[in-house]
């Protein structure tokens, strides 16, 4: 029987496994295929952040000449302290030693580097006292200790980046080598360069996995650009130690960025590159490998798979093969993933950021694709968005029960692009009817279907948080991007979730085609109002980019922009450079937007004029509490008048 080993390339989240291998392992085992999985990403982190790992790093650093960077100098000065506490800190972040919290919060146990600067000395006094006491109080010992231990890990990551490998980050590795890289040259050069300590450790982990599992096939998922270097690094080791093992590359990065692949050098590492959903392509590849082993010729019975044939890169997709329906893909299986070894990281004093990085979340998809699939900035032309296919509520609850039984964890992250309201309603009713107790969160569209009645139902079923796109917070631009929502509607929906006890995070963007400086300032004012009214508790600004597979990327002239000439693509293509004739310095505005948002998420500066956050003159906002006034007039923001009255009695807020 052919054995396939499925791997997630470094780096991803530290607190929970990326779900691709769990989905595929469950599906392949359902097909009676010998599938196993492992997570070299978490193994690499644990190897680095250990006493033996730090000793190895220290030997490398002490062997160098010249003045070290600050983070490196700090580590070398306190190396014994770091080595003596790192294993205990990791165990604590894994949830294995909660009593250690009392020592950690005493602030004498862990070494403290640059990341701790805001917690002590003049900086803390300037911010209005002890930030730890402000954030955690006298009883938040476990949370406070987790925050401090996370800062220590961040300090060490800074040291590794400054002294060992400038490409290293905790959630991504060598991201710049792969993001929209038109040629393979930078990646090839990096793979051929002298190995760093990080590289050597990943090579050792890979050799151990191959020796332990003895696979015939290795499938590697690269969901993001920050996984690509690690994927190729792993593949290179597999090719050297087990030349007969076949290698397959897939994942979100491949699906979006490698659709125009022409680079032959890629196939020195991988035998097959698959696009979009992996279930049917994997079955076809395994059938082809079995046929070749019995003396058959190379087959064209593949689905959306790049291969190297006769010295040329070919994309083979047989019309006889079709994707597996969502209802038939099976239940994700976590066997093989070290669930007790992931780290709960708590780096930011913000509740939604904490959900992303703290605690173990079982991942599950409610429906394939997006039920809306109309946003002009989104990859609606690709399969993962464009092909909508929902599962029934009963089937979803069956999968939830099975996953909860296997992992022992009741937390679920529904990873849909936008969870369909109808599916959520039916799922919530079934969870309540069947007495299944879980906590869950996911991404939604802030559409009118989410009434106060529905949000309360979702909360009763276990919903603890939702995230969704407010995007540009401008009705004109929301209509231009075909988002299908208005700012007023977002206010009503977010307040309904908040009133139901559900945390709300808003995705925001700036720099959309034709967006003016005045519209950007007005957008910030609306966001300020949403925070002040308690409609949202968390948000994130990102700079708009044109992607190759979006309606804007395919028809830029409709949006008044011009794509700039690009280098010929033989490897990756996704983000497209463009020119917007609208006079606006989005780069400069972005600094103020992010500064304001950081403070709003900490409850600071909500009473300030939004122009306060910018170091250069910006237009006075035209928005005069229109969002809140409209919501009050229509009676859709319960309790807001009480909030307004209470604010009049508040003390002035701290600036930060």
**Homologous superfamily of domain range 344-555+583-647:** tm_1862 like domain (3.80.30.20)
Nearest C-alpha neighbor of 315 from the set 273, 377, 257: 273
Q: Which residues contact 365 (CB under 8 A, 6 or more apart)?
A: 23, 326, 414, 415, 416
Q: What is the pLDDT of residue 22?
A: 97
Q: Which residues contact 508 (CB under 8 A, 6 or more apart)?
A: 470, 471, 472, 473, 523, 527, 539, 540, 541, 542, 593, 597
Domain 3-46+175-327: which CATH class? alpha beta
Model confidence at 634: pLDDT above 70 = no
Cβ(574)–Cβ(257) under 8 Å?
yes
DSSP 304: S
Residue range 5-50, pLDDT digits in tens: 999 999 988 999 999 999 999 999 999 999 999 999 999 999 999 9
pLDDT band of 644, cuts 50, 70, 90: very low
> What percent of the chain is modeled with pLDDT above 70?
91
pLDDT band of 638, cuts 50, 70, 90: very low
Cis peptide bond N-terminal to 54, omega within 30: no
Residues 76, 62: Cα–Cα separation, whole Å = 8
Q: What is the pLDDT of residue 647?
A: 35
* Cβ neighbourhood burial of 603 (10 Å; 0-12, 13-18, 19+): middle
How many CA atoms are closer than 13 Å to the CA of 264, on its beta-carbon side? Answer: 5
Q: What is the pLDDT of residue 354?
A: 81
Q: What is the pLDDT of residue 298?
A: 67
Output phi, psi for 118, to 5 deg. Answer: -70, -10
pLDDT, the chain, mean: 91
Residues 426, 461: Cα–Cα separation, whole Å = 11
Residue range 516-568, pLDDT digits in tens: 999 999 999 999 999 999 999 999 999 999 999 999 999 999 999 999 998 99
Quote the tokens at residue 509: 């963007």
Q: What is the pTM of this model?
A: 0.90
- Return the number of other C-beta atoms located less than 10 Å from residue 165's C-beta: 17
pLDDT band of 359, cuts 50, 70, 90: confident
pLDDT band of 143, cuts 50, 70, 90: confident
Domain ranges of the chain: 3-46+175-327, 48-163, 344-555+583-647
Q: Which helix (H) or strand (E) holds 363?
A: strand 362-364
CA angle 235, 238, 240 (to 5 degrees): 115
């Amino acid at each position: 029987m052919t054995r396939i080993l499925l791997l997630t390339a470094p780096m991803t989240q530290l607190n929970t496994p990326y779900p691709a291998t769990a989905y595929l392992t469950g599906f392949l085992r359902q097909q009676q295929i010998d599938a196993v999985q492992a997570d070299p990403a978490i193994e690499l982190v644990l190897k680095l952040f250990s006493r033996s790992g730090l000793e190895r790093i220290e030997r490398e650093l002490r062997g160098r000449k010249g003045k070290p960077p600050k983070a490196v100098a700090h580590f070398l000065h306190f190396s014994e302290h770091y080595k003596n506490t790192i294993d205990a800190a990791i165990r604590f972040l894994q949830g294995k030693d909660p009593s250690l919290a009392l020592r950690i919060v005493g602030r004498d146990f862990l070494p403290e580097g640059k990341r701790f600067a805001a917690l002590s000395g003049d900086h803390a006094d300037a911010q209005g006292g002890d930030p730890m006491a402000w954030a955690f109080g006298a009883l938040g010992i476990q949370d406070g200790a987790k925050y401090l231990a996370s800062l220590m890990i961040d300090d060490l990551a800074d040291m590794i980046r400054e002294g060992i490998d400038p490409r290293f980050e905790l959630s991504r590795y060598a991201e710049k080598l792969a993001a929209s890289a038109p040629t393979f040259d930078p990646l090839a050069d990096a793979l051929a360069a002298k190995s760093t300590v990080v590289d050597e450790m990943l090579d050792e982990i890979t050799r151990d996995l191959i020796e332990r599992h003895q696979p015939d096939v290795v499938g590697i998922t690269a969901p993001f650009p920050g996984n690509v270097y690690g994927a190729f690094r792993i593949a290179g080791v597999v090719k050297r130690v087990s030349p007969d093992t076949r290698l397959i590359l897939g994942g979100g990065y491949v699906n979006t960025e490698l659709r125009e692949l022409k680079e032959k050098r890629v196939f020195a590492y991988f035998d097959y590159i698959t696009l979009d959903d992996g279930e049917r392509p994997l079955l076809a590849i395994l059938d082809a490998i079995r046929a070749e082993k019995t003396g058959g010729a190379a087959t064209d019975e593949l689905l959306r798979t790049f291969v190297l044939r006769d010295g040329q890169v070919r994309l083979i997709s047989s019309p006889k093969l079709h994707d597996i329906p969502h209802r038939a893909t099976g239940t994700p299986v976590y066997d093989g993933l070290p669930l007790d070894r992931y780290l709960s990281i708590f780096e930011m004093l913000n509740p939604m950021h904490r959900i992303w990085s703290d605690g173990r979340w079982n991942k599950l998809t409610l429906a394939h694709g997006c039920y809306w699939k109309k946003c002009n900035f989104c990859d609606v032309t690709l399969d993962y968005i464009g092909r909508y296919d929902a599962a029934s509520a009963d089937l979803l609850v069956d999968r939830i029960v099975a996953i909860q039984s296997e992992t022992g964890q009741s937390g679920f992250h529904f990873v849909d692009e936008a969870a369909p309201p109808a599916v959520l309603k039916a799922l919530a009713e079934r969870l309540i009817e069947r007495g299944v107790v879980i906590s869950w969160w996911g991404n939604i569209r802030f559409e009118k279907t989410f009434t106060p009645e529905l949000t309360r139902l979702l909360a009763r079923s276990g919903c603890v948080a939702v995230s969704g796109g407010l995007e540009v917070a401008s009705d004109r631009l929301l209509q231009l991007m075909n988002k299908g929502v208005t700012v007023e509607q977002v206010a009503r929906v977010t307040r309904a979730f908040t009133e139901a006890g559900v945390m709300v995070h808003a995705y925001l963007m700036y720099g959309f085609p034709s967006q003016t400086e005045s519209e950007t300032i007005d957008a910030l004012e609306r966001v300020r109002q949403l925070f002040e009214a308690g409609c949202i508790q968390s948000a994130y600004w990102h700079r708009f980019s044109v992607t190759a597979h979006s309606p804007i990327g395919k028809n830029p002239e409709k949006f008044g922009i011009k794509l700039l000439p690009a280098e010929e693509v033989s490897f990756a293509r996704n983000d497209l450079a463009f020119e917007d004739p609208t006079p606006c310095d989005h780069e400069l505005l972005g600094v103020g937007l992010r500064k304001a948002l950081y403070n709003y998420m900490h409850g600071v500066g909500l009473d300030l004029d939004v122009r306060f956050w910018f170091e250069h003159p910006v237009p006075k906002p035209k928005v005069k509490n229109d969002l809140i006034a409209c919501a009050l007039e229509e009676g859709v923001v319960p309790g807001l008048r009480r909030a307004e009255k209470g604010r009049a009695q508040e003390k002035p807020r701290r600036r930060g």
